[in-house]
Every structure is written in structure tokens, then in C-alpha cells.
Structure 1
Amino acid sequence: MLPIAPEGRAYLALLAVLVAVAHLFLGVWAAPTWLLLLGGFFVFRNRGRDTPSRPLAVFSPLDARVTAVDECHDPFLERPALRITLRQNWRGEFNMYSPLECRVQQFFRRKTDNAVDASGHLAVWLKTDEGDDVVVAMQSRSWPHVFNCVAGSGDRLGQSRRCGFLGFGRWVQVYLPPTSRAEVQPGQRVAAATDVMATLVHKKQEAES
């Protein structure tokens, strides 16, 4: 099986048929159509990731650059939060991964004129076994609208498990409990399911430290 995201297999099959038909009618003049097929393989590639074992770590959900790390008000769960803002890497893979081991609680959709504001995103609320709430908000208003999530409410996700496809060049904001410790800074590039963005810190851990 080729390392291709499930969301792209039908598109690539259609492109392959179009390339074959073009060669049938145009011969060598159809050679440029191979660029479309190669572009499709680039967009939908899915090589898999090796994730280090970190029980309380929050991994990056996508290949991206960190644009901001700040404290704010979570508009989805109405609470104080540590927010990490990511800009999707155009040259990276467009697959999305679960940032931690959790269960999907609920999906949210809100609109705003500010494309980078979380309230203009499609968001998913995740909860860990320890009771930590994490919200991943994905900008969904700009073209092209490409998003697919293979998990639904109530589904369990393993740490850094591939859970969908998001493209292209999107803003993503991750809302964490305010006690979380950030391990990235603005300008830093992070790899999905590989680089740790933050660590969840509980009261017992704070007392011990």
C-alpha cells in the first residue's frame, strides 16, 4: 500500500485515469499532466510518524510553525487557557494527529470576521483520562475548504494517532488548561506527532516541583 492519506486515494485514482486518457489522445504532448499526478502524491502523502513516549505531553497536531504562545480566554469552554497558535506548513504533510491520548467530547463551529480568531474555527473538544480539557480549533473559512476528521463524538484517540486531513496553510489554535507548561516559542517549527508543544501539569506535580 502506497503511503497515501485515505482522503486522497479517490482523487489520485481519477488523476491517473485522466493522465492515461490524455496520453491516449495527445501522446507525448500529454507529458505535463504528470505534474498534476505528482502534485497529488505530494499533497496527500502520509509517511507515518515515530512518536516518543510522553504520557502528559501535548504533541503538535500538524506540521506547522508556532506563531504565538499566550494566555487567553477559551471561547469554546469559557475558561482561562494557555493558547498555542500554529500556522500549517505548506511544505509539510497535511495530515492531522491527535495531540494526546483522549476521548472526543464535542465539535463546535463559530463564525467571526477575524480569520485567525478561534471563534471563526471548527473546533473539537478533547478530554484526557485525567480530566484535562483540550480544544483544537481549526480555521475553516478561507478557500480551499478541505477538512476531514475520522473521529466522532465519544471516540477514543491514542496519542499522536492520525485523525484526519487539513489543508492548506491553515491556522490552528490549541487551548490547554492554564496550568500547562509551554515547551515551544513563537517562530519555532514543529513536526506533527513528533514535537512536544506543552506538558500538562497537575496540582500534585506543582506541589512536588
Structure 2
Amino acid sequence: MQGRRNPFVAREGIPFLFVSAVSCWAAFYYLNFFWLSGAVFLLVILFLIFRDPRRRIPAVPLGVVSPVDGRVVEVGIVDKGVLQGEAKCVVVRINSLGTYTARCPVEGKIMDLYAASSNGASVYQTNALWVQTDEGDDVVLQFSGYRLGLAPKSFLRFGERLGQGSRCAYLRLTRYAEVHMPIDSTILVQPGQRVVAGHDLLGRLPHA
């Protein structure tokens, strides 16, 4: 199915694109070709950074889709994942010129990771996204390697339900995305493989 209706660029980038477009107009009317070329170049770069194309979401209820565009750099097991014990982990190096908006790996409910952390049940960063499926499987998405000190920004609330592949956060040029899933999950990717946000499967959850 198709992703939800959305502009071709992320809303967070619209003010930057507007200012850049005005700069192009001003350079065209009041300055020379050199300044116009620079303004147009900046507009193109900003468009590539903030682009947020629609994606065809696969009809795989137990599938775990990639949250970002990029390349898989690590597949393994972590000993303190998915809030309790071991978990399968897939690390993706994010393509900075890929989609600016992260996609939710699975369908489910956004859980309160802050409360879990205060109870000593989580080692995740506070900006991680914890999604629990209707079958009770826990999947956690977290990011690392911030550029310019900017952490990804989620636009979701605890208790909100999300569809598989739905937009969930602005990436803000973050370098890496990690997806943790139950230890009994099946991993469907390998290091070096390219993945597309909201479309390619990273794994499959164990529940039938």
C-alpha cells in the first residue's frame, strides 16, 4: 500500500527551501550570475536533503521494514535489547541524501520508553522509539552519530498507533539507525546490502 499523503519534502525543510527560493529570486533580479548559481546550487542541495518521497509499503504483517535509506553495516545479537535480554540487531548507515523522514519498522503502539528506563528495564537512549505489536512483540528503533549536535526529532506521542512504514521522525542528518527485534526473529538482510526506507524488509517477527 502507499504511504500517507504528504508533500514531496519534509515539513521541517519547507522554511529552509522557501528562504533559498527567495534568495534565488533576489539573485536573479538584483545580483549577477555567480550569486544566482550559488543560490540555485543551495536550493538543489536542500531539496535533496529534505526530500520525503512516498514509498510503497509491502503487505507483510510480520515484516520489519527498514526505517531509513542506506546500507546495512552490521547484523548481530545484542545482550540487552528489546527491553529484556537478548535481541537481534540490524545497523544501517543512513544515506544523507535519502529520505529525510524515518519510517516505523512495524505496525503497533508507541510505548513509554522513559518509564521503562526509570524502572531499570531499558538501556536505550531516551530518543529511541519503542513499538509494541498487537502480538506483543517489542521492536526498538534508535539512532546514533548525530551531525551538528542535532538528534532526530520524533513527532509521535505515547499510546499512538502507527502503521508499518508510517513516518515517525525527522532524521536530521543522523549517521546510523539501529533496529532491535525479538531474539526469535528472522533476519533477511546482510552487511553491505542497500535498503530503502518503508519498503525493504530487514527481518520477520516470530509470531504467526
Both proteins in one fold, TM over 0.5:
yes
CA distance, structure 2, for counterparts of residue 140 and residue 183 of structure 1: 25
CA distance, structure 2, for counterparts of residue 155 and residue 140 of structure 1: 27
Shift of 1:64: 1.5
The amino acid across from 1:4 in the alignment is V
CA distance, structure 1, for counterparts of residue 62 and residue 44 of structure 2: 39
Q: Deviations over 1:10-48 (max 9, x none)?
A: 111111122223333313332221100111111111220
Q: Which moved more, 1:145-154 or 1:7-16?
A: 145-154
Aligned runs of 1:67-82 on 2, under 5 Å?
Answer: 67-74=73-80, 77-82=83-88
Shift of 1:163: 1.6
Aligned to 1:14: 19
Q: Deviations over 1:82-117 (max 9, x none)?
A: 111111023422221011101111245xxxxxxxxx
Which residue, 12, 35, 39 being the options, matches 1:33? 39
CA distance, structure 2, for counterparts of residue 20 and residue 107 of structure 1: 46
Normalising by the residue count of structure 1, what TM-score does the alignment of the two structures yield?
A: 0.84
CA distance, structure 2, for counterparts of residue 81 and residue 181 of structure 1: 11
Q: Could you tell me which runs of 5 or more consecutive residues in structure 1 were left unpaired when the two chains were aligned.
A: 109-117
Q: Give the secondary-structure state (helix, strand or coil) at the position aligned to 1:186.
A: coil
Q: Give the secondary-structure state (helix, strand or coil) at the position aligned to 2:112.
A: strand
Normalising by the residue count of structure 2, what TM-score does the alignment of the two structures yield?
A: 0.84
CA distance, structure 1, for counterparts of residue 113 and residue 171 of structure 2: 16
Taking only aligned residues, the RMSD between alpha carbons, in angstroms, comes to 2.1
Aligned to 1:62: 68
Which residue, 172, 180, 184 being the options, matches 1:175? 180
Aligned to 2:52: 46
Aligned runs of 1:1-209 on 2, under 5 Å?
Answer: 3-31=8-36, 32-74=38-80, 77-107=83-113, 122-139=127-144, 141-145=146-150, 147-202=152-207, 205=208
Higher strand share: 1
Summarize the Cα distance change of 1:76–1:50 in structure 2 as closer, same or farther, 3 Å threshold. Answer: closer
Q: Could you tell me which runs of 5 or more consecutive residues in structure 2 were left unpaired when the two chains were aligned.
A: 1-5, 115-122
Q: Give the fraction of aligned pairs with identical amino acids, expressed as a percent.
A: 33
CA distance, structure 2, for counterparts of residue 121 and residue 173 of structure 1: 14
CA distance, structure 1, for counterparts of residue 111 and residue 178 of structure 2: 17
Aligned residues: 194
The amino acid across from 1:49 in the alignment is R
